[in-house]
């Protein structure tokens, strides 16, 4: 039983990683006042770029660079539409998602001719698991040994990076000048402008960070978690990350917990496949897969109170006199 739990938590960490990256990406963006429904598109775009580059150059790291570049480029398109031209954030985000969904498949057919997939990656073209020191030696120690060797050890570098990003983000958002201005710009851009700071510049920088994080999430999907790009492989993770962001009330640590909860439910869903529960019968996988969404709605509706986002989110900043 204990071992099952550890294995499920282990799976949770792996499944949560892209959610954590994407939700933190959304956090930077939305805290700066830019609604980013295009997380999904950025993840997918990066997943494709990373897998394609990794297979061509046979290097996961080069793949990661390409993934990040693609995702940042998409973020800049979003910024150009929303910040410079004061467009509607949702429209721009949806457009990005739609374009990317089509473009990734088209390009991969054109380049690789494998029905919308990229070649299967192996060796250096993937991020491989890291075994922490003494993991094997300690594996037999009761309880702690299992936790160390199974749960903590044996993940790839991006998983550790995801968890490290949470305190990092906390520090940036709450303890630095950039973070203060970022939060201010999402609440009242006029206050930032009259303080002599450029609203657009801060928002663009937030979107660059958002792009980088989404890029890592995408690269993780195609070059670490899987071995290659598949059509629509982001599978709603961007939307799930947005749900986690709202669920966590736009704060780094609660957002992490929300991502872990969603990841755990995902791990449970995998585990429950084909399992027959006495009195109920076989639980349809879909019933468990839908849980994160149902949970978000239910919890937001009643249990965690009102989720109030940054006040100026989604509103283009128009400079006007006082």
Partner 1 sequence: MTNKTTPYAIELRDISKRFGAVQANKDICLQVPAGTIHGIIGENGAGKSTLMSIIYGFYEADTGFIEVDGKRVDIRSSQDAINAGIGMVHQHFMLVENFTVLENVILGAEGGAILKGGIDTARVELQRLAQEYSLDIDVDAIVEELPVGLQQRVEILKALYRGARILILDEPTGVLTPQEADHLFRILKALKEQGVTVLLITHKLREIMASTDNISVMRQGQMVAHRETAHTDKEELAELMVGKKVRLTVDKDDAKPSGTFLSARNLSQFDSQGVKRLKNVSLELRAGEILGIAGVSGNGQSELLNVLAGIEPMSEGEIHIAGQVITAKAPKDAAEMRELKMAHVPEDRHKMGLVTGFEAYEAAVLGYHNSPVYNGKILMHRKVMIDECNERMAAWDVRPPNPHLKTANFSGGNQQKIVIAREVEQNPDILLIGQPTRGVDIGAIENIHEQIVKLRDSGKAILLVSVELDEIMALSDRILVMFDGAVVGELDAKDADERTLGLMMANAYNDEEVSA
Burial group, residue 223, by CB count within 10 angstroms (0-12, 13-18, 19+): buried
Interface residue list for partner 1 (CB under 8 A)? 175-181, 183-184, 187-188, 190-197, 311, 319, 321-322
Closer to partner 1 by Cβ: residue 43 or 83? 83
| Contacts (Cβ under 8 Å, ≥6 apart) of 297 | none
Q: How far is the CB of 186 from partner 1 (least distance, A)?
A: 9
Q: How far is the CB of 191 from partner 1 (least distance, A)?
A: 4
Q: Which residue, among 78, 45, 18, has the nearest Cα to 237 in the 3D structure?
A: 18
266, 296, 297, 308, 313 from 301: Cα distances, Å:
22, 8, 6, 12, 21
Closer to partner 1 by Cβ: residue 63 or 186? 186
66, 72, 172, 180, 307 from 175: Cα distances, Å:
31, 25, 6, 7, 23
Q: How far is the CB of 161 from partner 1 (least distance, A)?
A: 22
Closer to partner 1 by Cβ: residue 160 or 178? 178
Closer to partner 1 by Cβ: residue 154 or 179? 179
Q: How far is the CB of 69 from partner 1 (least distance, A)?
A: 26
Q: d(Cα 269, Cα 297) in Å, to the nearest integer?
A: 19
Closer to partner 1 by Cβ: residue 236 or 309? 309
- The phi, psi pair for 66, rounded to 5°, reads -65, -40
Q: d(Cα 322, Cα 320) in Å, to the nearest integer?
A: 6
Q: How far is the CB of 26 from partner 1 (least distance, A)?
A: 19
Closer to partner 1 by Cβ: residue 85 or 311? 311
| Contacts (Cβ under 8 Å, ≥6 apart) of 112 | 52, 55, 118, 119
Q: How far is the CB of 210 from partner 1 (least distance, A)?
A: 20
């Amino acid at each position: 039983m204990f071992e099952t739990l550890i294995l499920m938590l282990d799976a949770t960490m792996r499944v949560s990683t892209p959610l954590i990256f994407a939700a933190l990406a959304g956090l930077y963006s939305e805290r700066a006042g830019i609604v980013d429904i295009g997380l999904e598109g950025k993840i997918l775009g990066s997943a494709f770029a990373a897998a394609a580059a990794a297979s061509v150059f046979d290097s996961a790291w080069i793949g990661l660079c390409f993934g990040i570049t693609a995702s940042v480029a998409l973020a800049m398109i979003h910024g150009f539409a929303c910040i410079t031209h004061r467009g509607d954030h949702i429209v721009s985000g949806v457009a990005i998602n739609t374009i990317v969904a089509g473009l990734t498949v088209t390009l991969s057919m054109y380049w690789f001719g494998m029905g919308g997939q990229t070649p299967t990656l192996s060796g250096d073209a993937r991020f491989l698991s890291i075994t922490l020191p003494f993991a094997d030696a300690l594996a037999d120690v009761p309880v702690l040994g299992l936790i160390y060797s199974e749960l903590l050890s044996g993940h790839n570098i991006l998983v550790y990076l995801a968890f490290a990003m949470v305190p990092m983000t906390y520090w940036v958002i709450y303890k630095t000048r950039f973070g203060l201005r970022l939060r201010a710009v999402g609440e009242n851009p006029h206050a930032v402008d009259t303080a002599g700071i450029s609203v657009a510049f801060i928002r663009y920088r937030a979107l660059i960070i958002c792009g980088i994080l989404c890029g890592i999430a995408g690269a993780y999907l195609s070059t670490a978690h899987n071995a290659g790009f598949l059509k629509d492989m982001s599978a709603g993770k961007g939307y799930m990350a947005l749900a986690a962001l709202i669920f966590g009330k736009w704060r780094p640590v609660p957002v992490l917990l929300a991502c872990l909860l969603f990841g755990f439910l995902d791990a449970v869903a995998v585990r429950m496949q084909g399992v027959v529960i006495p009195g109920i019968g076989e639980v349809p996988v879909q019933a468990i897969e839908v849980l994160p969404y149902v949970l978000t709605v239910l919890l937001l509706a009643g249990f965690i109170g009102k989720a109030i986002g940054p006040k100026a989110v989604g509103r283009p900043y128009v400079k006007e006199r006082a």
